[in-house]
Amino acid sequence: MANSAPLTIDCAGRATRAINEEIRRAADDGVPEVELLNPQARHNLGVSVLKPIHVVYRGHVGSFTAGLCDGITAEVHGTCGWGVADNLMSGEVVVHGNAATSAAPSIRGGRVVVCGDAGPRSGMILKKGELIVGGNTGYMSGFMMQNGRMIVCGDADTGLGDSMYQGVIFLGGQAKELGSGLEEVDAENGELDEVAALLDRFEIKAPAKFRKLQSDRKLWHFNKHDFAAWKDVL
Amino acid sequence: MSETPSTPPPAHAGDSSVEVLEDAAPAPNGAYPRPDSFSGVWPPEVIEEIQEKAALGRYQIRGQATKRRGLPSFDDLVFVPAGLSRMPLEGYREKCDTQVVIGEGNCENPLVLERPIMIAGMSFGALSVHAKRALGMAASRCGISTCTGEGGMHHEERRYSDKLVMQYLPSRYGMNPYDLKKADMIEIGAGQGAKPGTGGVLLGLKMSDEVAEMRDLPEGVDQRSPCRHPDWMGADDLYMKLEEIREVTEYKVPISIKVGAARIGNDVRIAAKAGVDAIVFDGMEGGTAASPTIQLDHAGIPTVAAIAEASEALADMGKKDTMKIIVGGGIRNGADAAKCIALGADVVYLGTAPIIAMGCHKPIYLEDYARLGTSPYECQHCHTGLCPVGITTQLPKLMERLDVDEAADSVTNYLNALTMEIQLFARACGKNRVSDLDPNDLRALTYDVSLMTGVDMVGLGGRTPWWKKF
């Protein structure tokens, strides 16, 4: 029988393994929400939770927060270390602060929202799902993206979307340099409205306009006549 | 000459047509006589290499392993079995234990190998599902493990492999928490001996619809995998990543980390500090389904040198008894394997040899070897996806050529023979456990291998090698 009472866990002084086991047990028991107090920038909090539950992190968290989860929702009230929501299968993780390097690495579904800035390598090898960055993002963001969607409201550093196979990047600000194999295309009808509505949901201010970037597919197969594109990526 | 003589023209693997072989331009190698008048600086193979690059406009890519000769090798070592100073064990009577346990005391379900052998990581994609199934059947009969390789865990492989290691690689193809939980060990991949420092390659003809779906890639694309994990970069991050994987697997199974043998001493120290249960590495002789040829021949260090360096580093870290060393790269027979163990390895990691045992290079379908411009015993065309014997292909018509039961029997036979050979050396050296082989059981035939391994030269002795310090 589902347990409808929210759970509060004070992380201070407790082992990460014990905290994660308690979150997983709560999800198994149908607890709708767990609140984590005093995360103290600890790594690997909320890893591998595979049943639906809402996790609220009250404070800064370390690396791989909510890593390898499926079907959870989470909100982080603080900044995140490396690799937030690593390999997320489905669900939604919202960071109400900044995220360090490698936000949402290799996610295979769901949505990761960083309301502030994201570090380098955000959305690297994104497979499916979506990464939204409310502020700026660092170098090599979207590197080797395989599919899915990345929305960056601010600026991007060098190498944005380099060598991406599929998927799209919406960029609101400037890119210091676009990566190899990208092309700019027109957004489809209603696409930008849908992006604006989504940003509104997370109270992120939408930029005046977006550029839509996607793979030009020239790197899908080697072409000796296009060596300029390949010299950097082979 | 076509755009890519060593890379067949684009075709969909799902076309299931062997006719695509006919479109592959024959490569010129093997077409000339080799008289003594050829230049030593510019022999025909060097000229061919330049001609091919001139046509391709990129580096060459091929499968299998380096063709270099003259590398320091296991052949530079010999065993010094029992005489009067030691008593040998009866080869056909007395037991010689071969079991190895990985992760004992560090996880709930350590990996128990009945023999000091593991099948190396080779992806579904690089290999056909039939080949993966045959490897699983043979390994299960022998009480050893197989490994998923890069492409994710195929359900057939899990079904046929009693002990299955799942690789966790930079590309994260097919990665998900459910398959990680199904694995009997996790191997965090950070490099391979055939191409240390670079990512994987899978050319378009092998990117079938099923392979592409498992990897979240477009069908038929030339896949280039990242060489670096997206979310950890160094020693301290590895510790955090390790904790994440232990959380996913609930501290039940061991975790190893794999590198290509290069700066192996330092790599072992970092892995030991991070707290893995085993370090896996293959030397520059290590196999591959597709690598830049130049990388195969000019990067990494030979396996025999790497083991000595790794063993010393692990002993130096005080973890020789708790962390295992798993070694691959050019291991052909029980002598090579036993020498690895004597030098400090706990387990040998076999990829190419079992593939050869199941039929790679088999002199059948000669016309299809010829279409690839090659022949049995020299074929290294795994990268093309047009494997004449149906092992490294995703084309259904070619895959059908591999009889799974027959292939499983052949691999089992080979593994049995190899195990007997390892035991033969252990018994001859008076050891009732294979793991008791040590560097004192060896002598070096060459000064360079003596120097790099610390093994005494034949006919000499009396100096203090590194292992005697521990």
Which CATH superfamily groups domain B74-358+402-453?
A: Aldolase class I (3.20.20.70)
Of A44, A89, A165, which is closest to B218 when you measure between CB atoms?
Answer: A165
Nearest Cα neighbor of A111 from A149, A61, A67, A56 is A149
How sure is the predictor about B127, in pLDDT bands with cuts at 50, 70 and 90? very high
Most confident of B143-157, B196-210, B375-389: B143-157
Query: Is A229 a residue whose pLDDT tops 70?
Result: no
- Contact list in A for residue B170 (CB cut-off 8 A) is 125
B395, pLDDT greater than 60: yes
| Chain A environment of B385 (Cβ under 8 Å) | none
pLDDT band at B2 (very low <50, low <70, confident <90, very high): very low
As a whole-number percent, the residues of chain B with pLDDT over 90 amount to 72
Asked if the model's pLDDT at residue B14 lies above 50, the reply is no
Tell me the Cα Rg of chain B: 22
A44, B243: Cβ pair inside 8 Å? Answer: yes
Task: Tell how strand B223-224 and strand B201-202 pair up.
Answer: antiparallel
Q: Token digits for B467?
A: 């292992």
Which chain A residue's Cα is nearest to B205? A221
- Asked whether the beta carbons of A174 and A154 are under 8 A apart, the reply is no
* Stretch A92-105: mean pLDDT: 98
Residue type, B140: S
Residue B13 above 50 pLDDT?
no
Q: Å from B177 to nearest chain A CA?
A: 6
Q: Residue A205 carries which DSSP code?
A: P
Residue A3 has pLDDT above 90, yes or no: no
The contact set of A with B (CB < 8 A) is: 16-17, 20, 43-44, 47-48, 50, 62-64, 67-70, 82-83, 86-87, 89, 101-102, 105-106, 108, 121, 124-125, 127-128, 143-144, 146-147, 163, 165-166, 220-222, 224, 227, 230, 233-234
- What are the tens digits of pLDDT across the range B65-104? 898 889 999 999 999 998 888 899 988 789 999 999 999 9
Cβ-defined contact of A82 to B3 (cutoff 8 Å): no
Chain A residues touching residue B251 (CB < 8 angstroms): 17
pLDDT range class, residue B469, cuts 50, 70, 90 = low
Q: Cβ contact (<8 Å) for B237 and A106?
A: no
Q: Do residue A87 and residue B251 have CB atoms under 8 angstroms apart? A: no
The domains found in chain A, sorted by start residue, are 7-221 (2.160.20.60)
Contact A224 B175 (CB under 8 A): no
Across A228-232, B165-169, B244-248, least confident range: A228-232
Site from A63, A145, A232, A233 to mutate, B interface, most B CB atoms within 10 angstroms = A63
Winning range, highest mean pLDDT, from A19-33, B189-203, B231-245: A19-33
Query: Is B231 close to A83, i.e. CB distance below 8 A?
Result: yes
CA neighbor of B313 nearest in space, from B344, B346, B348, B342: B344
Per CB-CB distance under 8 Å, the chain B contacts of A48 are 177, 247-248, 250
Q: Based on C-alpha coordinates, what's the Rg of chain A?
A: 18
Residue B230 touches partner A, C-beta closer than 8 Å: yes
Model pTM score: 0.91
**With contacts defined as CB-CB under 8 Å, which chain A residues touch B222?**
220-222
- Judging contacts by C-beta atoms under 8 Å, the chain A residues touching residue B234 are none
Residue A99 phi, psi (nearest 5)? -125, 140
pLDDT for the residue numbered B5: 42
For B378-390, write each residue's pLDDT tens digit: 888 888 899 999 9
Residue B430 Cα to chain centre, angstroms: 30
For chain B, how far is it from start to end, CA to CA, in angstroms?
A: 60
Contacts of A144 in chain B (CB under 8 A): 226
pLDDT tens digits, A136-183: 999 999 999 999 999 999 999 999 999 999 999 999 999 999 999 999
> Which one of B195, B217, B231, B293 would you mutate to disrupt binding with A, by most A Cβ within 10 Å of its Cβ?
B231
- Return the closest-CA partner of residue B74 out of B419, B455, B384: B455
Contact across the interface for A86 and B59, Cβ inside 8 Å: no
Pairing of strands B61-64, B145-147: unpaired
